[in-house]
Amino acid sequence: MTTTPMAARICLLAALLPASASAQGWTEASVARLAAERAPAVREAWAAAERARGAAEGAGLLPNPSIAWERQEAFDPNAQTQDILTARIPIDLSGRPAAERALADLDALAAEATAESARSLAVAVALEAFYGALAAERRAELLVGAQATLDEAGRVMERRRAAGEASGYAEARLALEAELARSQLAESRVAASAQRAALAALLGVDETPGLVGDLDATAPAPIEALLARAEARGDVAALDRADAAASRAADAAGWAWVPRLDVEGGYNRVDGPVPGHGYAVGVAIEVPLFDHGQGPRARASAARAAIAAVREATLARARAQIRAAHAQLEGLRAERARFAEATGAAAELLATAATSGYREGERSLVELLDARRAVVENAQRRLALDLAVRLADVRLRGATGDL
């Protein structure tokens, strides 16, 4: 019987794993969508933004007009009554209402910027967990493939035992190696299950379906193009809208000193010794002695400064993250390619030579087990590099606002 080399089996299993996953399994897109919708921090941040938006709906409204009725009565000897029905219309030509509304809009937009940052962070954390769980499943499958070498060695050992050629040392050594491999495989399966459970908890669901995806990542765009995209991040765009609201508030607050007017007009009827009727009018003007709009002006000025500072800090942090993630991704991709080229042929040759050599009696059991460990460590190192590349890609996309 021809035995497939161990390294080839490992590669074959890794290639077939996505195809064997459920068509209903989670992909990167579905995990990102669930994180954006269900992550507790995101829901809390958007709830705060909704509260701020609700508060803005009632800010800066003009005062309502009013209707009043007044009755005056004088007793004998000159008894008479007077009824006055008036309508009062407040007229606010100052910038106070517009400033208050713009400031409330600013608070809502700032809350939306915070929610957008929380959403992007939650998606990045969820995707890191997703790819960590995917890598854990790949490691378990890798160890299943590596078990083939021990199975083949066990069959060879059985033939040699039947022929009276197997030593007790070799049998004990193979048995110990087999148990170590089973334990490692069991641990890897527990780790994969724990990773899936952690992902489910992160997304607020009871369990995860199959995971569908790969650990590869394309080459990043040039650093200049990525840095330019930081301006379009969701949180930066929300801060830009908040800055526009702060500018509107500052413009409106410049007119907050304008006095407010109250205009009254109505009908006046007198009933008594000398009955009659007529009209009633009145005007009241506010005297801005103490409050002449200094509050809205100060709030608008402080808001503009605060928004500008937050935006500058957000962009600086994003650009620093982009540079770091870009350098890390390029470096890891280069190391992955170098390592694969440097070890791929040697690992394949080692696995093939050791397996066939032991079967034919040309190599010892110790050589076979040593080759197996080297090939498994090589495959695990390649898997670790694949995961590191994918996580660096997630961090880069998170920094540019692509998540």
Q: State pLDDT tens for residues 325-372.
A: 999 999 999 999 999 898 888 877 777 776 677 677 666 777 778 778
pLDDT tens per residue across span 281-304: 889 888 888 888 888 888 888 988
Confidence band, pLDDT 50/70/90 cuts, at residue 181: confident
What is the average pLDDT score of the chain? 83
> Can you read off the two tokens belonging to residue 285?
């003007």
Q: Whole-angstrom distance between the N-terminal and C-terminal Cα of the chain?
A: 50
pLDDT of residue 24: 67
Q: What does the pLDDT read at residue 158? A: 73
Residues 222 and 394 sit within 8 Å (Cβ to Cβ): no
Q: What is the pLDDT of residue 133?
A: 92
Per the CB < 8 A criterion, the answer to whether 210 and 299 are in contact is no
Q: State how far the Cα of 341 lies from the Cα of 324, in Å rounded to an integer.
A: 26
Given a contact cutoff of 8 angstroms between Cβ atoms, the answer to whether 202 and 39 are in contact is yes
Give the gyration radius of the chain's Cα atoms: 38
Whole-angstrom distance, CA of residue 185 vs CA of residue 151 = 14
Task: List pLDDT tens digits, range 120-129.
Answer: 999 999 999 9
CA–centroid distance for 211 within its chain: 19
* pLDDT surpassing 70 at residue 8: no
Q: Is 140's pLDDT higher than 60?
A: yes
185-193-142 Cα angle (round to 5): 35
The burial class, CB within 10 Å (0-12 / 13-18 / 19+), for 271 is middle
Region of 19 on the Ramachandran plot (φ > 0 left; ψ -120 to 50 alpha; else beta): alpha
Please tell me the distance from the alpha carbon of residue 89 to that of residue 67, in angstroms, as a whole number.
9
* Percentage of the chain exceeding pLDDT 90: 23
pLDDT at residue 400 in the model: 92
- Residue 225: predicted pLDDT: 92
pLDDT bracket for residue 166 (50, 70, 90)? low
Angle at 126 between CA 12 and CA 20, to 5 degrees: 25
Q: What is the pLDDT of residues 24-45, one digit of tens each?
A: 688 999 999 999 888 888 888 9
Give residue for tokens 């400033």. 99
Q: Do residues 103 and 299 lie in contact, with contact meaning Cβ atoms separated by under 8 Å?
A: yes
- Looking at residue 369, its pLDDT comes to 80
Per-residue pLDDT at 373 exceeds 90: no
Q: What angle do CA 130, 141, 2 make, to 5 degrees?
A: 155
Q: Does position 207 have pLDDT exceeding 90, yes or no? A: no
- Please state the rounded mean pLDDT for residues 232-238: 88
**pLDDT higher than 70, residue 17:** no
pTM over 0.95: no
pLDDT over 60 (residue 6): no
Cis peptide leading into residue 77 (ω within 30°) = yes
Q: What is the pLDDT of residue 358?
A: 65
Domain boundaries, the chain: 6-20+34-60+98-260+298-400
pLDDT, tens digit (0-9, with 9 covering 90-100), for 41-87: 888 899 999 998 888 888 888 888 999 988 888 787 778 888 889 99
pLDDT at 214: 87
The CATH number of 6-20+34-60+98-260+298-400 is which of 3.30.750.210, 1.20.1250.20, 3.40.50.2300, 1.20.1600.10?
1.20.1600.10
